[in-house]
């Protein structure tokens, strides 16, 4: 019972992160029908920007960034989050304009290879000494280590305390707010309707008077902002930041991509569902079976779902009537 | 002053010359039809006018402005609107959302509402299905939606690409009846059709296009009576 509750909490937090990242993959795929391999590097950028800003900001407030006992007021975290989202949006916008837009009419494989190129570029620029450097760093604590809830629940060997920490709640609430805002934007606004139209048929959208280039740019901005938020939240939960080209980042991005595919790539709600599904499989599998195989569970689930529902859980295949 | 003037338009798909110097004009208030066989360049002409394809040579002037290097959405905004071939409705959106997209560039809410009501009066069956996913409509209903959606943009010139394609004869008559009504209400129409028979009945003037070139032009009644057109396009022997 205690173990279950604790694992559930972690799965919800990790699932929120996967969902935020998966949304970026799925929105870009929905509109341009290619996998933006550089998307996970925006997450890394978001995390490292947050670290850099925290590192600079805390001393200005008279705090020691290396002492986890001295946490800044809560607004500092919010400022860093928003600044990181804004900067990553700008980078996402620039990547689309400079790297992908010139290839809009080229075969999709060209764009795919370009995306891998952009990803490698970001990883290696990130490692430069005057950027983020080649060594791991420790994210300063931005949140007090409050326990919001501590309950004693029965477990296999006697009662155990289950702790609901502030970090997990912040991750879940922030992600939920962002995802609800996105849901509203995509399904309730004119811009969102235009995004769904462009994802269905670019030429027909242009004939409606929809400025397609602007919608595509906006999609990248949106996806990058969510990725930055995920990077920030990830750094809060796992303060030991690996260097920008480290395999853990690649794996994080890959799992989020799997989440998007499982949910039905191109489907916004599917990405969120997929994020939580793989987090639950990963976390519960790691706890109850063996944590050595946590990645295996995720990819085995991918294979299983693709066998049964090739277009993903919520992916639909709408046939055009001719 | 013609509403639309296309002059000496050439368009390439890679090395293939799809249009070889097409010229045509549409006057205010007219229904003009462009007829021709499959692959003659009818749709290419409309796609180029709408800004989806770049012309290699030639000019397109609409309402006094040169538009052939404009982006598609700017062309729509100037009042030149196309209901494309194969309807191209957004199957993943509701019928109502499809109609809203037709008015994407407009901000005058009350006027949009009025135009939407007018378009739905022409197609009562579309009104019955407003909250349905557009993909669930029948082919005929989708065509009606495509025309209604274009009308909500309040076009000065409405371009229709094969509105009768794949429809039952009864529906084809309905669609052509509506085209006539739209024109009588003051909208100029450029109609691309394979169904030359119906198109020549509804149009004032006509152009015949063959392998990327305009072969004939003239009043619709005259072309309908000419031996060449009757043999090639109207199935006479």
DSSP sequence for A258-290: HHHHHH-TT-HHHHHHHHHHHHHHHHHHHHHT-
pLDDT at B189: 97
For residue A191, which residues of chain B lie inside 8 Å, CB to CB? Answer: none
pLDDT at A253: 95
Q: Label the pairing between strands B31-35 and B205-210.
A: parallel
Q: Do B92 and A318 touch (CB under 8 A)?
A: yes
pLDDT single digits (tens) B88-116: 999 989 999 999 999 999 999 999 999 99
pLDDT at A317: 61
Is A281 domain-assigned?
A: no
pLDDT at B236: 63
Is A255 domain-assigned?
A: no
Is A252 domain-assigned?
A: no
B149 touches chain A (CB under 8 A): yes
Q: Which of B71, B73, B93 sits opposite A196 (nearest CB)?
A: B93
Q: Which of residues 205-244 of A touch B (CB under 8 A)?
A: 205-213
What is the dihedral sign for C-alpha A176, A265, A30, A228? Answer: positive
Is A200 domain-assigned?
A: yes
Q: Do A322 and B93 touch (CB under 8 A)?
A: no
Is A316 domain-assigned?
A: no
- DSSP SS3 for B160: strand
Contact B21, B34 (CB under 8 A): no
Q: Which residue has the tokens 């394609």?
A: B165
Q: Which residue has the higher pLDDT, A223 or B14?
A: A223
Is A266 domain-assigned?
A: no
**How many Cβ contacts (< 8 angstroms) between chains A and B?**
82
Contact A140, A232 (CB under 8 A): no
pLDDT at B204: 96
Q: Give the separation between CA B33 and CA B59, rounded to whole angstroms.
A: 20
Task: Kindly identify which residue of chain B lies nearest to residue A317, measuring between CA atoms.
Answer: B92
Residue A163 is part of which domain span? 2-246
Task: Kindly identify which residue of chain A lies nearest to residue B141, measuring between CA atoms.
Answer: A321
For residue A216, which residues of chain B lie inside 8 Å, CB to CB? Answer: none
For residue A205, which residues of chain B lie inside 8 Å, CB to CB? Answer: 101
B153 touches chain A (CB under 8 A): yes
Count of CA atoms in the C-beta half-sphere (13 A) of A285: 16
Q: Give the separation between CA B181 and CA B30, rounded to whole angstroms.
A: 12
Q: Give the separation between CA A182 and CA A174, rounded to whole angstroms.
A: 12
Is A66 domain-assigned?
A: yes
**pLDDT under 50 in chain A at which residues?**
318-322
B32 touches chain A (CB under 8 A): no
For residue A110, the tally of other CB atoms under 10 A from its CB is 13
Beta-strand ranges (E) seen in A62-201 are 137-138, 147-155, 158-165
Q: Minimal Cα–Cα distance from A128 to chain B, Å?
A: 41
B79 touches chain A (CB under 8 A): no
Q: Which two tokens stand for residue A2?
A: 């205690």
For residue B28, the tally of other CB atoms under 10 A from its CB is 13
Q: Give the separation between CA A181 and CA B62, rounded to whole angstroms.
A: 41
Contact B61, B37 (CB under 8 A): no
pLDDT at B237: 56
Contact B163, B191 (CB under 8 A): yes
Q: Do A207 and B84 touch (CB under 8 A)?
A: yes
pLDDT at A319: 47
pLDDT at A282: 96
Q: How far are the Cα atoms of B79, B131, B154, B192 from residue B62, in angstroms, in the given order? A: 9, 36, 15, 18
Q: How far are the Cα atoms of B19, B39, B158, B203, B220 from residue B209, in angstroms, in the given order? A: 10, 10, 19, 16, 14
Q: Which residue has the tokens 């739905």?
A: B120
Cut 0.95: pTM above it: no
Contact B40, B158 (CB under 8 A): no
**Which of B67, B90, B103 should one mutate to test binding to chain A, selecting the residue with the greatest count of A CBs within 10 A?**
B90
Phi, psi of A161, rounded to the nearest 5 degrees: -85, 135
Per the structure, the count of domains in chain A is 1
Beta-strand ranges (E) seen in chain A are 137-138, 147-155, 158-165, 240-241
**Which of B73, B129, B140 should one mutate to test binding to chain A, selecting the residue with the greatest count of A CBs within 10 A?**
B73
The DSSP 8-state label assigned to residue B5 in this structure reads: E
């Amino acid at each position: 019972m205690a173990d279950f509750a604790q694992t559930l909490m972690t799965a919800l937090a990790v699932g929120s992160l996967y969902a935020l990242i998966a949304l970026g993959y799925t929105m870009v795929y929905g509109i341009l029908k290619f996998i933006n391999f550089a998307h996970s590097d925006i997450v890394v950028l978001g995390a490292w920007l947050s670290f850099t800003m925290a590192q600079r900001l805390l001393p200005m407030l008279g705090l020691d960034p290396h002492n986890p006992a001295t946490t800044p007021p809560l607004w500092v975290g919010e400022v860093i989050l928003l600044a990181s989202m804004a900067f990553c949006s700008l980078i996402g916008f620039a990547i689309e304009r400079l790297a992908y837009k010139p290839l809009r009419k080229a075969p999709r494989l060209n764009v795919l290879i370009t995306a891998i190129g952009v990803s490698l570029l970001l990883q290696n620029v990130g490692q430069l000494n005057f950027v983020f450097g080649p060594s791991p760093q420790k994210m300063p604590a931005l949140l007090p280590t409050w326990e919001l809830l501590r309950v004693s629940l029965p477990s296999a060997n006697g009662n155990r305390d289950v702790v609901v920490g502030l970090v997990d709640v912040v991750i879940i609430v922030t992600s939920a707010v962002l995802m609800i805002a996105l849901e509203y934007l995509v399904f309730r606004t004119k811009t969102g309707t235009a995004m769904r139209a462009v994802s269905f048929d670019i030429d027909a959208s242009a004939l409606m008077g929809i400025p397609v280039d602007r919608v595509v740019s906006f999609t990248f901005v949106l996806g990058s902002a969510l990725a930055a938020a995920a990077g920030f939240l990830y750094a809060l939960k796992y303060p030991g930041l690996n260097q920008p080209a480290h395999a853990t980042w690649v794996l994080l991005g890959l799992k989020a991509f799997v989440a998007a595919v499982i949910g039905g790539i191109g489907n916004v709600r599917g990405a969120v569902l997929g994020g939580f599904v793989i987090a639950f499989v990963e976390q519960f599998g790691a706890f109850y079976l063996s944590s050595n195989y946590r990645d295996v569970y995720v990819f085995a689930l991918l294979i299983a779902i693709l066998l049964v529902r090739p277009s993903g859980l919520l992916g639909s295949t709408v046939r055009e009537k001719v | 002053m013609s509403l639309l003037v296309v002059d000496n338009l050439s368009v390439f798909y890679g090395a293939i010359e799809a249009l070889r110097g097409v010229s045509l004009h549409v006057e205010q208030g007219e229904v003009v039809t462009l007829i021709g066989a499959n692959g003659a360049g009818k749709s290419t002409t409309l796609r180029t006018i709408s800004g989806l394809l770049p012309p290699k040579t030639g000019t397109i002037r609409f309402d006094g402005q040169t538009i052939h290097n404009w982006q598609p959405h700017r062309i729509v905004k100037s009042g030149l609107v196309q209901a494309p071939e194969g309807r191209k409705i957004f199957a993943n959106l509701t019928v109502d959302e499809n109609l809203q997209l037709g008015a994407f560039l407009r901000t005058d809410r009350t006027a949009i509402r009025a135009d939407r009501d007018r378009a739905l009066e022409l197609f009562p069956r579309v009104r019955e299905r407003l909250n349905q996913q557009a993909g669930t409509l029948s082919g005929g209903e989708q065509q009606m939606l495509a025309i209604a959606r274009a009308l909500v943009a309040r076009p000065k010139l409405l371009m229709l690409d094969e509105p009768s394609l794949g429809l039952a004869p009864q529906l084809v008559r309905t669609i052509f009846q509506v085209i006539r009504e739209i024109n009588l209400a003051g909208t100029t129409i450029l109609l691309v059709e394979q169904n030359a028979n119906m198109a020549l009945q509804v149009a004032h003037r006509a152009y015949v296009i063959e392998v990327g070139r305009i072969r004939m032009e003239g009043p619709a009644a005259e072309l309908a009576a000419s031996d060449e057109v009757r043999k090639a396009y109207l199935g006479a022997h």
